Structure 1
Amino acid sequence: MFASLRRDLPASIVVFFVAIPLCLGIALASGAPLFSGLIAGIIGGIVVGSLSGSEIGVSGPAAGLAAIVLSAIGALGGWENFLVAVVLGGAIQILFGVLKAGIIGYYFPSSVIKGMLTGIGIIIILKQIPHFFGYDADPEGDFAFSQVDGENTFSELFNIVDNISPGATLIALIAMAILILWEKVLSKKAKIFQLIQGPLVAVVTGIIFYVLTRSHETLAIATEHLVSVPVPEDAASFFGQFQFPNFGVITNPAIWVTAFTIALVASLETLLCVEATDKLDPEKRVTPTNRELLAQGTGNILSGLIGGLPITQVIVRSSANIQSGGKTKASAIIHGIFLLLSVMLIPTLLNLIPLSVLAAILFLVGYKLAKPQLFKEMYHKGWKQWVPFVVTVVGIVFTDLLIGIGLGLAVGIVVILIKSYQNSHFLHIKTPDSGGHHLQMTLAEEVTFFNKGAILKELDAIPEDSFLELDVRKTRYLDNDIIEILEDFAFKAKNRNINIKLISERGTVENPPSYIEFFKLEKPPKT
């Protein structure tokens, strides 16, 4: 881990700058105290980062839980009551890990995972455009299409026109130029430009710009366009920001329902993020998913105990980590340490960072996730990959993360059923002659009730006076529904003068009297 520190340290700085506004914005969108988002970010980095088996994943408060948190705080009677649900949710996640539920993440098609990454990339870009121009009505980290104030992702873009901040826009353009120059030119010139990351230079430039122009009539950046970290007056007020659960409500059934909801949604988001980050990892390492659930559950218990938001592994910070060259979990841990030290020691300095500069950084993160080239690649892979991919992307952009993934998964399942229907058998006319037809039908390795329609269609189309070779040597699973179809066809075949030769691993049988009895004795295929 320490051998990669020269790559992990610069990456952790980038993740730190990306995490600050997201932690605060998600807390704001959740209707929770701002400090609760920072607590979740700190624990997600230090605690979950240490316990996790993921080398490049970064955890923290999740945008996907914002709506759940917002409604639950009101329904449960306050923030302290909600924290009980966070603690219990973490305990349920640990139970999921013990029960080996992490395997669920492996059942999502690659096309859906790629669609998730692309959809998140597009959402990042669309949501950061207003911040880029100094219009910050939509809280940072609120990734849902529909907003609480009645606006949506696209209507917010139209609102920019009358709310452009010249100073915020100018420094965003300067920051973007620095980032592109750093990545495309300077980082290839000398090692110093690889050690000192472009985002750090962009942030420092943004602070200097704000300080130099804050008395300028046109270019001054208003306070609402800056990062807004809570500033404690002394040590007592700092520790006073921590809040603790009210365990007196633990017997309330609504608390347990919320806890299970948090555990289920947070676990699903984490597993999807793990699958996605493993695909982005240049070294193609595989994260142990059950261990990840144990780490996330531990993090949520600690976060809830001291007043933090629920935690998941998050794709925005994870992808920023990967794109910045992070190699090991040291990057996630160090970013958490930076968050802790900064809110304790330099909150005033953090509050000089223009949000538009951070929007420029996130622009590049979003672009790398949603490169146009990826759409071309997925299209050329064929409709079975293209359709679930596009449905996932569109679903995420126009609804939210989980609904979009659910739509993509549903389409992926339909594609599988269609291909299963088509690939159940292969019918071949071997030697047509004047006296009839000699046909071969080879059944697939697995034939289920989904294949009934296709096999019935082919059997019914076999002409009279034919000879059919039915080959089941490759078949390892044959559904009872299919055996019954063959049994019924054998009866019809006698009336149509169709002779059947059944070829199996045990040998061949002509016109078997009972297919049901035959497959009871046959080891492969299994029924």
Structure 2
Amino acid sequence: MSILSANRMTSDIAGRDFLASIVVFLVALPLCMGIAIASGAPPALGLITGIVGGLVVGSLAGSPLQVSGPAAGMAVLVFQLVNDHGLIMLGVVGLIAGGLQLLAGIFRLGQWFRAISPSVIHGMLAGIGVLILASQFHVMLDDAPRASGLANIAAIPEAIIKGFPIDDSVHHLAAMAGIITILTIMLWNKFKPKRLALLPGPLLGVLVGTLFAFAFALPITLVELPSNLTTALNIPTVEVLGGFLDMEILTLGVVFAFVASAETLLCATAIDKMHIGARTNYDKELRAQGIGNLVCGALGALPMTGVIVRSAANVEAGATTRISAILHGGWLLLAVIAFPFVLNTIPTAVLAAILVYTGYKLVNVAQIRRIAEFGRQELAIYVVTLVGVVAIDLLTGVILGFALATLKLVYTFSHLEIETSYDKELNRVDMWMTGSATFFSIPQLSHALEKSPFGAEVHIHVEKLDYIDHACLEMLSSWEKLHQSTGGSLTVEWSDLVKRYARRAQDPSQTAIPNLMKRPAA
């Protein structure tokens, strides 16, 4: 390759990354402020997290095309923290979470954070979506969210009534701006022209909603950003840092680290499927996220994760390196320093409308159908996690879902179905085993075998067997010797299993079979 060709290729890559950074910036700007408001924090703290996510984490990330910043998935946790302990404790929890993530990355625990049932993850995200939608529905009407998720849901009918012009309040005016914002996003996503496909729907929604409020001079609440970003910092004081010794604060730090890591690595996996470039180094990504959250904690800003909406926009815009993620952080910093007066014209109802739409998308009805295809058990795990997150709290919901997924795993590896038929004329017993034959199943299997008449020809069919362990094989071998002493025989139809392997090998749509131990030679 000539030097000229190499320069052209480098220039082309830089150009695509530059364009992608603009697109990601336009997506991130309204979301950073909206998520901060949903978290009960000033919009400036969300923008600071977005800046750190771009400039710091973007430079260190193990997933080069992933974009980090404040996430809707963390908004519920942050809101509860701010509500219960005050905004000043946000930095302490961020420092704890960041430190734990950094340690997890150093000790190479990145892959283990992915060892969570997808049904639990999607149930958690759906529960968060319901909570965000319910709380931001009230903010979209210039009203205050209620104290809990269930209270927010129960108050939605009252909020709908407030959306009509029945008194002298401004709720219906804010609702109009919010509805127009949502309609703009939906219509744009459905009918946007190909030439303008990179223009993000949330940004267009903010522009249209803001212009509507400005044109009619609606007396509704606007975003408040300080002229100097340093005045918005929420740096923990020495006294507040004593929260490190508070068990409740430490627990929250662990929860923040767990949820942020799970959401980040889930996002990284999804982004890997969207491009053919470098794959994610999960431990490096965790270390980068840990450093980013340590910085955000030191500044008292919102916690961060890898975020799917901004990351997907980055890939779709043609990004090829980490430069686009880094630059988007620079554009956020420039916007806050140079144009705070422009951002202060945005109504909070418009930003809340974006979060209402985001919450709806997090529920993802199509994902529910896909989970249902894997059986009622997976759907039950999803529903239990969702209900637990909404009705109790996020940590309890995840623990309930994880416990149910663990019980399902135990059931799967301990459940064995045995069907038996007996032909008197041939004195032959046929036994079909379905499921997993483990040491848990030995009493059941022994009971079924002992029903066989003396001298019978016993055939065990294993075509539908997923797994058999050494304990069961030893038991079959022992029983075979005992049965032979009565004149009978035992035949395990391993040929059925060979045929099953052959069919699976010829059909790529079939999943692989767990390794089945070979029967020891007689």
Q: Mark the CA change 1:7 to 1:335 in structure 2 (over 3 Å): closer, same or farther.
A: closer
**Partner residue of 1:161?**
161
Determine whether 1:176 maps to 2:182.
yes
**Partner residue of 2:168?**
none
Q: Mark the CA change 1:497 to 1:407 in structure 2 (over 3 Å): closer, same or farther.
A: farther
**Partner residue of 2:117?**
109
Where does the alignment leave 5 or more consecutive residues of structure 1 unmatched? Answer: 215-219, 506-521
**Partner residue of 1:312?**
304
Amino acid at match of 2:39: I
Q: Distance in 2 between matches of 1:116 and 1:359?
A: 21
Q: Distance in 1 between matches of 2:256 and 2:235?
A: 23
User: What SS does structure 2 have at the residue aligned with 1:421?
Assistant: coil
CA shift, 1:108, in A, is 1.9
Q: Distance in 1 between matches of 2:129 and 2:94?
A: 28
Which is further off, 346-355 or 356-365?
356-365
Match of residue 63, structure 1, among 62, 67, 75: 75
Amino acid at match of 1:131: V
Determine whether 1:21 maps to 2:28.
no
Q: Distance in 2 between matches of 1:21 and 1:497?
A: 79
CA shift, 1:90, in A, is 2.4
**Partner residue of 1:436?**
427
Q: Distance in 2 between matches of 1:121 and 1:244?
A: 29
User: What SS does structure 2 have at the residue aligned with 1:152?
Assistant: helix
Q: Structure 2 matches for 1:125-140, cutoff 5 A?
A: 125-132=133-140, 134-138=141-145
Q: Distance in 2 between matches of 1:425 and 1:434?
A: 26
Q: Distance in 2 between matches of 1:174 and 1:490?
A: 76
Q: Distance in 2 between matches of 1:400 and 1:351?
A: 33
User: What SS does structure 1 have at the residue aligned with 2:70?
Assistant: strand
**Partner residue of 2:51?**
42
Match of residue 95, structure 2, among 78, 87, 90: 87
Amino acid at match of 1:14: V
User: What SS does structure 1 have at the residue aligned with 2:345?
Assistant: coil
User: What SS does structure 2 have at the residue aligned with 1:205?
Assistant: helix
Q: Distance in 1 between matches of 2:518 and 2:350?
A: 67
**Partner residue of 2:342?**
349
CA shift, 1:183, in A, is 2.5
Amino acid at match of 2:180: I
Query: Cα deviation per residue 1:391-444 (whole Å; 9 max; x = unaligned)?
Result: 33333343444433333333333333333334x577676x83425224467798
CA shift, 1:523, in A, is 9.5
Determine whether 1:466 maps to 2:470.
no
**Partner residue of 1:513?**
none
Q: Mark the CA change 1:497 to 1:427 in structure 2 (over 3 Å): closer, same or farther.
A: farther
Match of residue 409, structure 2, among 410, 416, 419: 416
CA shift, 1:457, in A, is 4.8
- So what's the TM-score if we normalise by structure 2? 0.73
Q: Distance in 2 between matches of 1:60 and 1:125?
A: 17
Q: Mark the CA change 1:270 to 1:469 in structure 2 (over 3 Å): closer, same or farther.
A: same
**Partner residue of 2:383?**
390
User: What SS does structure 1 have at the residue aligned with 2:287?
Assistant: helix
**Partner residue of 1:519?**
none
CA shift, 1:450, in A, is 4.0
**Partner residue of 2:400?**
407
Query: Cα deviation per residue 1:319-340 (whole Å; 9 max; x = unaligned)?
Result: 3552684554556444433432
CA shift, 1:378, in A, is 3.6
Amino acid at match of 2:107: L
Determine whether 1:322 maps to 2:312.
yes
Q: Mark the CA change 1:290 to 1:254 in structure 2 (over 3 Å): closer, same or farther.
A: same
Q: Tell me the number of residue pairs that the alignment of Structure 1 and Structure 2 aligns.
A: 471
Q: Structure 2 matches for 1:97-246, cutoff 5 A?
A: 97-132=105-140, 134-138=141-145, 145-146=149-150, 151-162=151-162, 165-188=171-194, 191=195, 193-214=196-217, 220-223=218-221, 226-229=222-225, 231-232=226-227, 238-242=229-233, 244-246=235-237
Identity %: 25
Match of residue 283, structure 1, among 274, 278, 302: 274
Q: Mark the CA change 1:69 to 1:252 in structure 2 (over 3 Å): closer, same or farther.
A: closer
**Partner residue of 1:262?**
253
- So what's the TM-score if we normalise by structure 1? 0.73
Is the 2:117–2:405 Cα contact (8 Å) retained in structure 1? yes
Query: Cα deviation per residue 1:309-364 (whole Å; 9 max; x = unaligned)?
Result: 4x2316xx523552684554556444433432333233232121123323443444
Q: Mark the CA change 1:89 to 1:500 in structure 2 (over 3 Å): closer, same or farther.
A: same
Amino acid at match of 1:94: L
CA shift, 1:294, in A, is 0.3
User: What SS does structure 1 have at the residue aligned with 2:458?
Assistant: strand
Is the 1:421–1:450 Cα contact (8 Å) retained in structure 2? yes
Q: Mark the CA change 1:503 to 1:102 in structure 2 (over 3 Å): closer, same or farther.
A: same
Q: Mark the CA change 1:35 to 1:320 in structure 2 (over 3 Å): closer, same or farther.
A: closer
Q: Distance in 2 between matches of 1:227 and 1:433?
A: 84
Q: Mark the CA change 1:198 to 1:109 in structure 2 (over 3 Å): closer, same or farther.
A: closer
CA shift, 1:137, in A, is 0.5
Q: Distance in 2 between matches of 1:468 and 1:337?
A: 74
CA RMSD, 1 decimal? 4.3
Q: Distance in 1 between matches of 2:53 and 2:248?
A: 24
Is the 1:118–1:369 Cα contact (8 Å) retained in structure 2? yes
**Partner residue of 2:62?**
53
Q: Mark the CA change 1:178 to 1:312 in structure 2 (over 3 Å): closer, same or farther.
A: closer
User: What SS does structure 2 have at the residue aligned with 1:101?
Assistant: coil
Q: Mark the CA change 1:498 to 1:280 in structure 2 (over 3 Å): closer, same or farther.
A: farther
CA shift, 1:115, in A, is 3.4
Q: Distance in 1 between matches of 2:239 and 2:364?
A: 51
CA shift, 1:98, in A, is 1.4
